[in-house]
Structure 1
Amino acid sequence: MKSKFWFILLALCIVAIIGLASIFHVPDYPWIYVAYAMAILSLIMLFRSIIKPHDTVIRGMELISAQDFNNRLTPVGEYNADKIVTLFNSLIDKLRLERLRNLEQDSFLRLLIDSSPMGVMMLDFDGKIVMINNSLCRITGIKGEQDALGRYPEDLPTDLAAKISAVPLGESRIIRRGDIRRYRCYHLSFMQSGFKRRFFLLESLTEEMMKAERAAYEKVIRTMSHEVNNTMGGVKSVLELLHDTADDDELSEVIESCDDRCDRLCEFISSYAQVVKVPAPVRQDADLNDTLSAMLPFLKGMIPETVSLDYSPGDISRKVSIDISLIQQVVVNIVKNAVESITGDGHIIISTGILDNSVWLDISNDGMPITDEVSHMLFSPFFTTKRDGRGLGLTLISEILNRHNAQFSLKTDTDGITHFHIEFE
């Protein structure tokens, strides 16, 4: 615009000078008219060859600066300038097609990432989150992408934040929540504009690991049951024969004691077999509050006088699809574990509610807290911290809840209260 202004000002000055000269010297110098016409023609040619191409270049710069790849430059009628215009328009077409292709690829990749069962979290060059997909929100318990954007991974509102951010770049680790769910977390990077962009992938291992664990302990339990029952059957037959022929009271007592131990061993093995024989749930629509209310007399009867049990039902507007007898067995086992964790006076609270269309059940106690070392082993088959425990209670609970497709966790909060939290879809 400045060049055009100065050109017009120069043209006006030249025209004014020639005009004044023609007024005062026309009679003596008639050729001034010719000079006047040639000056005007020269100015027109100068405008077309310099100023107009210059304005076209400025216009092209403005289009690039605004990233406007839909408009084109118009030829100015000057050969060299028109070559630049043609080249510019060709480059703009290529940029537009490349941009369109990138947008289509980005849209496809975003759709692919959002529909992926793996959790994906992308970081910017400063290490802050710029993208997180639905699967990672579901895995970590984050309400939505907006709750994560602009944060560092370790600042995410989830108990997995520290575990995710602790994975070194270029490595993978298996991490787990407070329940049976396990995930493999990958910390990887790719190059963009010559710099590394980091991202995390979370792959669920729960289902395949559960199948492998279940297959392993089912095989062990069945083998143990078969061998022990067959052996004990023969031993008991011999003991009965000896008992019938024994004429010594002391020997009879020894035989009876051995027979009693055989019965207890068979019962011990049978208790393990119950985990394998958990029936498939026969679901029905049930009111969770009514189901728990019907259990209260039994639950209060199984706890000592030093432990109080409170029930705080929430306002649940819908029923849940559950096997009532199996869920009652789950509640009994959880309350039993809570009682065993309390030494002296204690308090157990059973509460229910609904959140985001999920009906939840929470059983809390103020007994011994769960340590970090123990939390990593919870729900593992045969793991127990009890002196005479068999490690079957939590295994049975997780088996039943998984067959109900329920989400659950067991952990101690910072206030020392331990919560067993269950969510039914």
Structure 2
Amino acid sequence: MTLRSKFILTATLLYAAMGFLAWQLLQYDKWLFIACEALILLSLVLTAKLYTAFVRPLNLMAAGIESIKDRDFSIKFLDTGQPEVDQLIAVYNQMMDELREERVVQTEKHFLLERLIEASPSGIILLDTHDRVAGVNPAAVTLLQASGKEVVGKPLTELPNHWGKSLSELPKDAQRVLRPNGIQTYRCRKIRFLDRGYHRYFILLEELTQELLEKERNAYEKLIRMMSHEINNSIGAVNSILQSFSYFSPQLNANTQPDFDEALQVCITRNQNLAGFMANFANVVRIPVPHKQETDLHALLHSIHRLMQPSFERNSVRWEWELTEQMPPVSLDVQQMEQVLINVVKNALEATEPHGWVKVKTNASPPQLLIQDNGKAITPEVQEKLFSPFFSTKANGQGIGLTMVREILMQHGFAFSLETGSDGVTTFQIQF
């Protein structure tokens, strides 16, 4: 029973008792009965006014509670002229003003935070309390190469490509530098925040590729130039002395002259090889700005095929084609791209066992080139170091081939990747 019902019931019982008692007075004194009835009517009027004054605050409180439930902080009440009720209305109106102002501030902060997250060049992955993806910003969508609908609600282990394994192993409240494909470098941090009393995390992905590549390039350029200068100076002087020694060869007896000539030639050849070795390293830092022109990519590929065909036949490896019919011209530097294709095809050939195959494939939309082989797979450990300067898996490798490929393609602005898929096929992809 509500408080209002209790008041009405109490008043009804009280006036019923008073009416009954007044009726009893009618037998004794008629005028006294009339006076009592008048007093009862007067008290009834006063009780009705008291009831109205009593109920109005209750109605205001009920209306205020409903507006708070509906999160409608725009409703305010006018003064009634009753001090007690007006005091309640003043407190309520002040509370609603503060709530409305606080909601506006929180909404503006939330909107600002959303805009900052969307505009951030760093990828941001929001996680729920169970470490499932709760949201991603546009930068994270680009890095993950998957839309928000594809990843929201999934655990970190199910993120596409290499991200699932890398991010699921990321320690909480810690950061780690990842280089999953040997090209891009990322700093990943898993940061905790408080949401409605619960601890949640978000992952911040910052790409460091350009910054690190620039520092790396400056470091090995300085090293190579210094080494090249010192070694070339020494080689020139030593070769000059060795050439002078050859004039003494006729003065030797017949038994020692052949050994002397052979030893001189070995030293001269070794110096020339060393000069060529340093020249290869120096070429990496001397790559000029590409002079681009519209080029028939298929014609360029056929010229590379003619150049490499004897090597393929010698190693019993098949060259396979899968060329699109409507390949548009590509803007590139022909000489530099020839160097890239020769290096990539040569690496694919050396990784392929006899009777294996190397496939050259093109797509028109978007324009891209894929060079695939079914040779030895690239391990995750090697994958991270593929394009690092001076790194090579070959016994006599110098580690400059893929570094040169990386520099040329990055100067062209072409996206590229080299990895082994789940089917065991290794693919070098260039996106024009």
Per the TM superposition, whether the score is higher than 0.5 is: yes
Alignment check: 8 A CA contact 1:232 1:262 kept: yes
Using the alignment, how far apart are the partners of 1:81 and 1:314 within structure 2? Answer: 83
2:84 aligned to which of 68, 80, 85: 80
Q: Does 1:414 align with 2:417?
A: no
Moved more, 320-329 or 184-193: 320-329
The alpha-carbon deviation at position 396 of structure 1 amounts to: 0.8
Q: Does 1:97 align with 2:101?
A: yes
Deviations 1:387-410 (A, max 9, x none): 121111111111111112222221
Match of 2:232 in 1: 229
1:48 aligned to which of 37, 49, 53: 53
Match of 2:176 in 1: 173
Match of 2:347 in 1: 337
1:259–1:296 distance in 2 versus 1, CA, 3 Å = closer
Deviations 1:275-313 (A, max 9, x none): 111111122344545544554444545423622222323
Amino acid at match of 2:67: L
Match of 2:149 in 1: 146
Counterpart secondary structure, 2:319? strand
Using the alignment, how far apart are the partners of 1:56 and 1:416 within structure 2? Answer: 74
Match of 1:350 in 2: 360
Alignment check: 8 A CA contact 1:19 1:36 kept: no
Counterpart secondary structure, 1:303? helix
Counterpart secondary structure, 1:252? helix
Alignment check: 8 A CA contact 1:52 1:76 kept: no
Q: How do 1:139-218 residues align onto structure 2 when only pairs under 5 Å count? A: 139-142=143-146, 144-218=147-221
Using the alignment, how far apart are the partners of 2:285 and 2:4 within structure 1? Answer: 90
Amino acid at match of 2:273: R
Match of 1:60 in 2: 64
Counterpart secondary structure, 1:349? strand
1:271–1:16 distance in 2 versus 1, CA, 3 Å = same
Match of 2:273 in 1: 264
Using the alignment, how far apart are the partners of 1:154 and 1:61 within structure 2? Answer: 46
Using the alignment, how far apart are the partners of 1:5 and 1:84 within structure 2? Answer: 23
Using the alignment, how far apart are the partners of 1:316 and 1:33 within structure 2? Answer: 108
Using the alignment, how far apart are the partners of 2:45 and 2:328 within structure 1? Answer: 89
1:354–1:67 distance in 2 versus 1, CA, 3 Å = farther
Deviations 1:1-50 (A, max 9, x none): 96667777888999999999999x8x87444355335314412321222x
Q: Does 1:392 align with 2:392?
A: no
1:317–1:101 distance in 2 versus 1, CA, 3 Å = farther
TM-score (norm 2): 0.86
Using the alignment, how far apart are the partners of 2:130 and 2:72 within structure 1? Answer: 29
1:7–1:346 distance in 2 versus 1, CA, 3 Å = farther
Alignment check: 8 A CA contact 1:128 1:150 kept: yes
Using the alignment, how far apart are the partners of 2:406 and 2:74 within structure 1? Answer: 59
The alpha-carbon deviation at position 149 of structure 1 amounts to: 2.4
Using the alignment, how far apart are the partners of 1:179 and 1:210 within structure 2? Answer: 12
Deviations 1:237-260 (A, max 9, x none): 122222133114412233223222
Using the alignment, how far apart are the partners of 1:317 and 1:95 within structure 2? Answer: 63
Match of 1:36 in 2: 41
Match of 1:382 in 2: 390
Using the alignment, how far apart are the partners of 1:287 and 1:110 within structure 2? Answer: 46
Amino acid at match of 1:235: V
Counterpart secondary structure, 2:192? strand
The alpha-carbon deviation at position 367 of structure 1 amounts to: 0.1
Moved more, 282-291 or 360-369: 282-291
Counterpart secondary structure, 1:108? helix
Counterpart secondary structure, 1:55? helix
Deviations 1:167-198 (A, max 9, x none): 11121111112131111111121234443221
Q: How do 1:295-306 residues align onto structure 2 when only pairs under 5 Å count? A: 295-304=304-313, 306=316
Amino acid at match of 2:265: E
Match of 2:141 in 1: 137
TM-score (norm 1): 0.87
1:208–1:3 distance in 2 versus 1, CA, 3 Å = same
Match of 2:368 in 1: 360
Using the alignment, how far apart are the partners of 1:91 and 1:289 within structure 2? Answer: 74
Using the alignment, how far apart are the partners of 1:180 and 1:77 within structure 2? Answer: 77
The alpha-carbon deviation at position 382 of structure 1 amounts to: 0.9
1:333–1:95 distance in 2 versus 1, CA, 3 Å = same
Structure 1 regions of 5+ residues with no counterpart? Answer: none
Alignment check: 8 A CA contact 1:15 1:36 kept: no
RMSD over aligned CA atoms reads 3.1
Alignment check: 8 A CA contact 1:60 1:73 kept: no
Moved more, 300-309 or 207-216: 300-309
Using the alignment, how far apart are the partners of 1:224 and 1:42 within structure 2? Answer: 108
